[in-house]
């Protein structure tokens, strides 16, 4: 059987999604494989739609694994949630065709980066937001986002695994991606930076947001941001923001697979309690946050 699952996790205490040597610390893939092995009585390999970095969260991660255990999807959900640590939750499970692969079958991924933009930091949401106290011109950040749309070389903001062994080598890189949607919107004290693309480079969203923050501080013009995108060169002043504000909120697949893109219950809870985990389009009512 080929089983797909929707996964939610608090990535704070994990060394990213991808399995690492035990000495490096726990990973999401590692704890999932351990839990599945306990239930199925066999070793399995878990494939994820997005290889989130250390400290990055997910409300809409999708995985798949193959097993000889003949368990119903709802049984997998109950059994896994009874076995996994409380920081990792299975939202749904489906039996999928043998050809399905969580990563290679995906059409797009969506990420949200949440900035807590207030003079006073937050304690309850500190694990899921990035605190910036200075006023930010969100309208300029939103305008700069338009420069990201379309198919282009995003080498200014990240690197492809294919280039990892020679990151500074001259010449074309494997950094062509298609950005389908990009936006920055203020809701109360939170600024939601949302991005949807066919795929993302390593570190891409965090460095895009770091560069957009320079635009929001008026230290970089929209035109200068556009030039950075056009040059596709990593030698620019934008730096990666901390991982804690980043969340993988959704993965899109062909409709014929019948997989849910997000859980309404998760989106509602996240909008009300944990803005960093809110799905794309889940927008809490404005509450009069600081002016840009």
- Please name every residue paired with 64 in a beta bridge, in sequence order, or none if there are none: 4, 47
CA distances from 173 to 155, 167, 198 (A): 7, 9, 17
- Beta-strand pair 246-252/57-66: parallel
Q: Residue 292: CB partners within 8 Å, gap ≥ 6? A: 135, 136, 137, 138, 139, 186, 216
Which string of DSSP letters, residue by residue, matches 47-101?
A: EES--PPTT-EEEEEEEEEE-S----HHHHHHHHHHHS-TTEEEEEEEEE-TT--
Determine the Cα–Cα distance for residues 274 and 172; give it in Å rounded to an integer: 40
- Using the 8-state DSSP alphabet, how is residue 10 labeled? -
Determine the Cα–Cα distance for residues 52 and 89; give it in Å rounded to an integer: 16
**2 phi and psi angles, rounded to 5 deg:** -110, 115
Q: Which of 53, 118, 194, 233 is catalytic?
A: 53
Please indicate whether residue 118 is annotated as part of the active site. Answer: no
- Please name every residue paired with 115 in a beta bridge, in sequence order, or none if there are none: 130, 191
The residues that are catalytic are 53
């Amino acid at each position: 059987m080929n089983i797909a699952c929707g996964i939610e996790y608090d990535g704070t205490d994990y060394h990213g999604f991808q399995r690492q040597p035990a000495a490096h610390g726990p990973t999401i893939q590692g704890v999932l494989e351990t839990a599945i092995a306990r239930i199925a009585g066999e070793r399995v390999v878990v494939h994820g739609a997005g290889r989130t970095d250390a400290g990055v969260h997910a409300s809409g991660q999708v995985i798949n694994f193959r097993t000889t255990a003949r368990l119903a999807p709802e049984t997998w959900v109950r059994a896994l949630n009874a076995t996994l640590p409380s920081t990792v939750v299975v939202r749904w499970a489906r039996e999928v065709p043998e050809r399905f692969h969580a990563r290679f079958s995906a059409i797009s991924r969506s990420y949200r980066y949440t900035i807590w933009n207030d003079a006073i930091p937050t304690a309850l949401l500190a694990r899921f937001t990035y605190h910036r106290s200075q006023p930010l011109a969100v309208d300029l950040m939103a305008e700069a986002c338009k420069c990201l749309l379309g198919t282009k070389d995003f080498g200014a903001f990240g690197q492809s695994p294919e280039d990892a062994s020679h990151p500074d080598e001259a010449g074309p890189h494997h950094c062509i991606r298609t950005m389908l949607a990009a936006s920055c919107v203020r809701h109360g004290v939170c600024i939601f930076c949302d991005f949807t693309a066919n795929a993302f480079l390593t570190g891409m969203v965090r460095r895009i947001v770091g560069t957009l923050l320079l635009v929001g501080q008026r230290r970089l013009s929209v035109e200068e941001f556009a030039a950075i995108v056009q040059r596709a060169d990593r030698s620019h002043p934008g730096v990666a923001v901390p991982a804690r504000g980043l969340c993988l909120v959704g993965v899109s697949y062909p409709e014929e697979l019948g997989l849910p893109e997000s859980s309404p219950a998760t989106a509602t809870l996240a909008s009300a309690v944990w803005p960093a985990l809110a799905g794309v389009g889940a927008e809490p009512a404005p509450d009069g946050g600081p002016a840009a």
